[in-house]
Amino acid sequence: EIVMTQSPATLSVSPGERATLSCRASQSVSSNLAWYQQKPGQAPRLLIYRASTRATGIPARFSGSGSGTEFTLTISSLQSEDFAIYYCQQYNNWPPWTFGQGTKVEIK
């Protein structure tokens, strides 16, 4: 099973600032990496797939990069609606599909 590790666990950012979230896989997952956003009381929402492709309707301030074992999600200028928990997930070696433990982006 591929283990996904996210850092940091919590990121405190001021509105308008840049946020950089990291995700590491225990072995290569090529570019088969997705990012999801989850707000309190809501289901997760797909943000990014194939490491860097934005899902339908996702604003351009969200960008993904990386391949192999190291990945990054960047939010270029945080808006109030972006404060949430973000999960990475690999879909290269399945089953199982595996998630990171999440990074909470909170208001500084």
Q: Identify whether the C-beta of residue 51 lies closer than 8 Å to the C-beta of residue 64.
A: yes
Give how far the C-alpha of residue 16 lies from the chain's centroid of Cα atoms, to the nearest Å: 19
Q: Which is nearer to another protein, 16 or 41 (CB)?
A: 41
Instruction: Give the residues lining the site for another protein (CB under 8 A).
Output: 32, 34, 36, 38, 42-46, 49-50, 55, 87, 89, 91-92, 94-102
Nearer to another protein, 49 or 62 (CB): 49
Residue 40, classed as helix, strand or coil, is coil
Nearer residue to another protein within complex by CB, 69 or 98: 98
**How many residues are there in the chain?**
108
CB of 23 to another protein, least distance (A): 13
Rounded least distance, CB 42 to another protein, Å:
8
Taking CA atoms, 70 is separated from 36, 42, 59, in Å, by 17, 28, 23
Nearer to another protein, 94 or 107 (CB): 94
Tokens of 20: 């950089």
Helix (H, G, I), strand (E, B) or coil at 13: strand
Closest distance to another protein from the beta carbon of 94 (Å):
7
